[in-house]
Structure 1
Amino acid sequence: MKRRDFLSTSLGLAVASALAPAQQARASRQASSHSSTNFDVAIIGAGLFGSAAARHLSKVSDGVALIGPKEPQQKSTHQGVFASHYDTSRLTRVIDPNLVWGTLAKRSIARYRDIEHQSNIEFFHNIGYMMVTPGGLGTDWFDLPAMREVATDLNVEIEDFDDDLLKQRFPYLNFTPGSSAVLQEKDAGYFNPRLLVEAQQSIAIAQGTTLLREEVVQIQVTGEQVKITIGSGGTVRANRVLVATGAYTNATMLLAHKLNTTIRAAMIMVSEVAPQQQVAFPSTLYAKTDGEEDFWGLLMPPITYADGRSYIKTMDGYYGPAPLEGYKALGTWSRSNGHEDHHVVLKRALREVFPSLDILSTQFKPCLITDTDSHYPYIDMLDDRIGIAVGGNGKGAKSSDEIGRLAAGMIHTQGWPSSLPQAVFSAKFA
């Protein structure tokens, strides 16, 4: 297949419009054992990217299969794959130091409410996003001038805060003296990734997608089709395959060649807070340099979880002693409770930034982050029949609907449905 590195805006919009019109809902079907084993396109990986691709693709194709297991009930003993959406809250915002990531986010967030309406599943909470930094950190995550430029380019309203205004608006948060901040109040906040996946799948199924709750163990091009072997021993065939298997893409060895990716072992801390601690502040990325040690990370406001209790979620920029490689290492980390020394860092950081917080209990949850060599998702055709959508780089969840739309357009037309150059998303191999 001849790869197109760039398509003009007009052609990109033309292809995108071909995906947009809704067709009459076909008979919905969700299968664990399936009556049909032949499909036009099979999407392997039923997480954020794959489920979004299924929703977009099933608007224009009658033969879509989405293949991926359910979330395991007992993660501590689960021996299969893990996905990245096993979470209740994930930060979302448009403003970013990088224009490509800002564009992906803006286009995705613009469709959140429509997805909620079509699925009757609410997952987005528009509470705003704030980034706070004392400056001089040497990381583009906290590049305020670049972030302001992207906000201007994408016509996103932001508000600048100096140290005094931060103290006035959020007196209970203890940021480094002299910090500055930017606030995006509209089209930002947090979303529930579990519910977003559920919403995407609900719409895709209503549009005719077959959902197969299986793990895939092998894909093989055989003549005019791709043979897909599933964990239960059966086979599925498809004309084309989109692989969206996240951190497990190399570990499962589904592709002929390893992608150039790095898997980071991240850790989330979820702290239960007393009911009276229902303070309101935006989803926040912050850097702090006046504590016991420098820290930068995520601070979410108190959120009510499924058990009816309120929790504050925190996460930092430390990702374990070394990248993870191989199926066994990924599983071991995903079943673990992380490192005790890291727990100490997270607990101390939360006390330093929110000293008045009354913490009732604390849980630690492992997370896998897939970084690509380009720092953008790989959305590419590897040959005429197999495409990929892999690599969130710590920013992909909020932008998953647009990433899925690009992958759907690519696998359906073998063209490129965006004004963003395809070369930005080209796969790189190890």
Structure 2
Amino acid sequence: MVIAVIGAGMIGAAAARHLAQAGHGVVLIGPPEPQDKATHPGVFASHYDEGRITRALDPWPFWSRASQASIARYHQIEADSGLRFFHQTGTVMAGAENSPYIMSLRAVQQQGNLPCEVLQGPDLAARFPFFRFDPGTLALHETQGAGHINPRVLVRAQMRIAEQAGARILPDTVLGIEETSTGLRIRTDQGDVPANQALVAAGGFANMILPEPLPLTVYARTVVLLELDAAEAARLAAMPSLIWLEPDGNDPYLLPPILYPDGRVYLKMGGDTVDVILRDTQDIKDWFRSGGNPAVGRMLADQVSARMPGLRVASSHVQPCITTFTPRNVPALERVGPRLSVAVGGCGRGAKCSDELGRLGAELALGRSLPEWAQQDALPA
């Protein structure tokens, strides 16, 4: 049996690894990162970056469970691939002490017995002197298995292991899927690929491929990269990743100093609250080519300045990305036909737990049922 995994991003590459290492025939189909995004006419992916926050703590049990499973495999993936992508700098999740999201976070932490340091008031200020926290803030500091991952390198690691285990990798763009008398025909820009089963893990581009569209909402998002000189990067060397849980459910985030491919060190700030919905494939492509929203970048930079008084920034620029949401605020992990499954919709939380989401997608492609915990929603009560 040949299983086609469509989408060579974080979830798709993980699914291909799990299937190939289990001895199944796998073809992973998806184009590489474009050299010039501004003129690229094809599809894009959301892992074109150097930093994504990772942690086991989350207000929702589904995301915490999926994250724990993925984090537990990071070191083995690094060892098997020879590529390092995980940086254990720690993660702080903070917010107003009695806010619903902090209370949910504490409940998940206590139910899962997740090790972390709980800080408030003077102890919190002393522990992280480079951050300014409002009075009444409660923070959970996770040190083990938390910090940030390099999504580009993680995808390369997953693909390297999958290929070593026998997977075939095609750098093609999938145009559609057709059922035949014997299986599936995967139509690509380079020709047809036969398969017995297919798993679509194409993120915001999934509905471009699927015979029947999923109820996905794709948002245009902007992040800002704040360049630091060598002295400022050294001053912030002990900085953890930070997520601030707002009472309204927004969760702006800030990553510690990270070296980027241009040779410069940046802080990355995200948490764009300007909800611009991308209605179709052309909208998504246009957004990636646009370079992002400078006004949102300025708003995010102002938030960093308020959170980190005295921060010295040498320069800044914005980058576009997308988040793909489902109505249940968890990925669409389901069979949508006798030969077709989907693993789509990171809901702004998918990077850190992409290995487990890929594993669950692989289980679906093999015709297996998901565990009960993986069928939970992540919606406010």
- The TM-score by the shorter chain falls in which range? over 0.9
User: Conserved in 2, the CA contact under 8 Å of 1:263 and 1:369?
Assistant: yes
Alignment of structure 1 residues 20-99 onto 2, 5 Å: 40-99=2-61
* Residue matched to 1:230: 188
Matching of residue 298 in structure 1 with residue 253 in structure 2: yes
**1:249 counterpart = 2:211:** no
1:312 equivalent in structure 2: 267
Q: Following superposition of structure 1 onto structure 2, how do residues 126-275 of structure 1 map, counting pairs within 5 Å?
A: 126-135=88-97, 143-232=101-190, 234-250=191-207, 252=208, 254-275=209-230
Contact 1:97 1:144 in 2 (8 A): yes
Which residue identity does 1:302 align to in structure 2?
P
Are 1:282 and 2:228 matched, yes or no? no
Pair 405,145 (structure 1): closer, same or farther in 2 beyond 3 Å? same
5+ residue gaps in structure 2? none
Q: Is the 8 A contact 1:267 1:319 kept in 2?
A: no
- 1:360-391 superposed Cα distances (whole Å, 9 cap, x missing partner): 11120001100001111111111110111000
Letter in 2 for 1:134: A
Paired residues of 1:126 and 1:186 also in contact (CA < 8 A): yes
The answer to whether the 8 A contact 2:69-2:356 is kept is: yes
| Distance in 1 of aligned mates of 2:376 and 2:103 | 26
- CA distance in structure 2 between the partners assigned to 1:374 and 1:282 by the alignment: 30
Whether contact under 8 Å (2:223, 2:297) holds in the other structure is: no
Match of 2:77 among 104, 115, 140: 115
Query: Could you tell me how far 1:103 is from its partner in structure 2?
Result: 0.3
| Rg larger for | 1
Shift of 1:419: 4.9
**Alpha-carbon offset, residue 203 of structure 1:** 0.2
Write the mapping of 1:334-349 to structure 2, written as runs, cut at 5 A: 334-349=288-303
> CA-to-partner distance for each residue in 1:21-56, whole Å, 9 max, x for gaps?
xxxxxxxxxxxxxxxxxx611111000010000000
Rounded Cα–Cα distance in structure 2 between residues aligned with 1:41 and 1:166: 50
8 Å contact kept, 1:175–1:288: no
Q: Does 1:418 align with 2:376?
A: no
In 2, the alpha carbon distance for the partners of 1:418 and 1:148 equals 24
Following TM superposition, the consecutive aligned residue runs of length 4 or more in structure 1 with deviations greater than 4 angstroms are: 421-425
Specify which of 355, 358, 367 is matched with residue 404 of structure 1. 358
* Aligned-partner Cα distance in 1 for 2:289–2:25: 35
Q: Which residue of 2 aligns with 1:329?
A: 283
Q: If the length of structure 1 is used for normalisation, what is the TM-score?
A: 0.83
Please give the alpha-carbon distance, in whole angstroms, between the structure 1 residues aligned to 2:127 and 2:376.
43
**What does residue range 372-387 of structure 1 map to in structure 2 within 5 Å?**
372-387=326-341
1:345-360 matched pairs, under 5 angstroms: 345-360=299-314
Q: Are the equivalent residues in 2 in contact too, given 1:214–1:230 (CA < 8 A)?
A: yes
CA distance in structure 2 between the aligned counterparts of 1:52 and 1:421, rounded to whole angstroms: 17
Q: State the Cα deviation string for residues 107-162 of structure 1 (Å, max 9, x = none).
A: 0000000000000000001111101213566xx6xx12211221122221111111
Q: Is the 8 A contact 2:6 2:201 kept in 1?
A: yes
Query: CA contact under 8 A between 1:163 and 1:177: conserved in structure 2?
Result: yes
Q: Indicate the larger mover: 294-303 or 333-342.
A: 294-303
Query: Partner letter of residue 84 of structure 1?
Result: S
- Mapped to 1, the partners of 2:274 and 2:125 lie a distance apart of 30
Shift of 1:306: 2.8
Secondary structure class of the residue paired with 1:334: helix
- What is the CA distance between 1:231 and its match in structure 2? 0.9
Q: Which amino acid aligns with 2:294?
A: E
Query: TM-score scaled by structure 2?
Result: 0.94
CA gap of 1:223–1:422, structure 2 versus 1, over 3 A, is farther
Structure 1 Cα separation of the partners of residues 156 and 40 of structure 2: 21
